[in-house]
Amino acid sequence: MLRSAILMASENRLLRRAMERSRAGRIVTRRFVAGNTLQEAVDAVQTLQTQRMLSSLDNLGESVSNNEEAAAATDAYLESVGAIAHSRLPASVSLKLTQLGLDLSTELCRQNLMRIVRQATPAGIRVEVDMEASPYVERTLDLVEEAHRAGGLVRAVIQAYLHRSEADIHRLNRAEIPVRLCKGAYKEGPGVAIVQKPDVDANFQRLASVLLREGVQAAIASHDEAMIQSALQVVSAHNIPPTQFEFQMLYGIGRHLQQRLAQQGYAVRIYIPYGQAWYPYLMRRMAERPANLLFIARNLLR
Ligand SMILES: Cc1cc2nc3c(=O)[nH]c(=O)nc-3n(C[C@H](O)[C@H](O)[C@H](O)COP(=O)(O)OP(=O)(O)OC[C@H]3O[C@@H](n4cnc5c(N)ncnc54)[C@H](O)[C@@H]3O)c2cc1C
């Protein structure tokens, strides 16, 4: 109930504008967002690097409303790819196709995505294409497949809560496209998604097993100890080398778990959001754990 209300608020454009412009808003994002600038995100990558962790840079933004905004988002990604290559950072980039214009035109989005992939691939930088709400899934997978066929270093994302996800994992495994498996963060109905959390968790464990055994460069994206332990059991039962998979977690969430896994020698990649368009991202983090609202309220009252 509360989760749905928070996710609905995340789509409110007026609230979004007011929050993103407010000083208080900037203060409360600090735990989950590395900063407003690329330099602050690079600093975060370098700090994590000293703790033997990898990163993925997310220049925040989604659902742009015109071609200029889509071009600006593309340029921002080209800049982050340039910074990663220049400083030889252990980082990929993560982007959303609605940020590159998917709502405006698939062709425009394809061109923007390919510009980024063409610059990133020769530098060995992977482009991870986040998965958004269910109406975007098919077009997103099509574009990831196209970029992969063109020789691009890409990664697709699969959400364990969607009924279609098992078939999608097999499709991506067949094409040898690396996949990030997450539970799913959007408001979806029972027609397309599993609604009970224990059932989502069970499906995550099942899909993680398929991905680890049959996929390439599997990425297990969760802060849930039970998901991680179950993945590690599959790894041990099938002698999967640590070079063939990684754990992924969000900046500022599950920090002890991140450090523990890295210290144990597993590859751990931290998804680092930065930039000014942080409101929808923050609201999804609130919806996952409404207790975060207390953290926000305390900071606002300070
Ligand atoms: C690297 C990465 C990339 C992602 N990419 C996508 C994507 O492309 N598309 C998409 O739909 N979703 C994405 N997600 C979000 C994902 O779908 C989940 O909504 C999110 O990870 C919470 O699920 P969980 O697996 O951590 O398990 P949960 O059962 O939700 O949480 C397990 C535990 O983790 C901690 N935790 C989880 N979330 C929070 C939080 N917000 N604040 C504080 N503590 C928390 C709590 O201790 C909680 O008990 C991504 C997640 C990660 C880690």
What the chain holds in terms of domains, given with CATH numbers, is: 33-277 (3.20.20.220)
What is the Å distance from ligand 1's center to 151 Cα? 30
In this prediction, residue 23 carries a pLDDT of 76
Q: How far is CA 240 from CA 211, 223, 245, 266, in A?
A: 11, 21, 8, 12
- Catalogue the active-site residues: 130, 180
Q: Is 224 in the pocket of ligand 1 (CB under 6 A)?
A: yes
Q: Is 252 in the pocket of ligand 1 (CB under 6 A)?
A: no
Residues in the chain, how many?
302
What is the Å distance from ligand 1's center to 198 Cα? 15
Q: Is 204 in the pocket of ligand 1 (CB under 6 A)?
A: no
pLDDT per residue, tens digit, the chain (302 aa), is 777 777 777 777 777 777 777 777 777 788 899 999 999 999 999 999 999 999 999 999 888 999 999 999 999 999 999 999 999 999 999 999 999 999 999 999 999 999 999 999 999 999 999 999 999 999 999 999 999 999 999 999 999 999 999 999 999 999 999 999 999 999 999 999 999 999 999 999 999 999 999 999 999 999 999 999 999 999 999 999 999 999 999 999 999 999 999 999 999 999 999 998 888 888 888 888 877 777 767 666 65
Query: Closest by alpha carbon to 77, among 113, 30, 29?
Result: 113
Residue nearest to atom 3 of ligand 1 (CA): 221
**Site of tokens 């979004």:** 16
What is the Å distance from ligand 1's center to 288 Cα? 7
What is the Å distance from ligand 1's center to 183 Cα? 7
Query: Is 248 in contact with 218 (CB distance < 8 Å)?
Result: no
Give the ligand 1 atom nearest the CA of 204: 25
In degrees to the nearest 10, what's the CA dihedral of 142, 194, 201, 237?
-60
In this prediction, residue 300 carries a pLDDT of 60
Q: What Rg, from alpha-carbon coordinates, does the chain have?
A: 18
pTM, entire model: 0.94
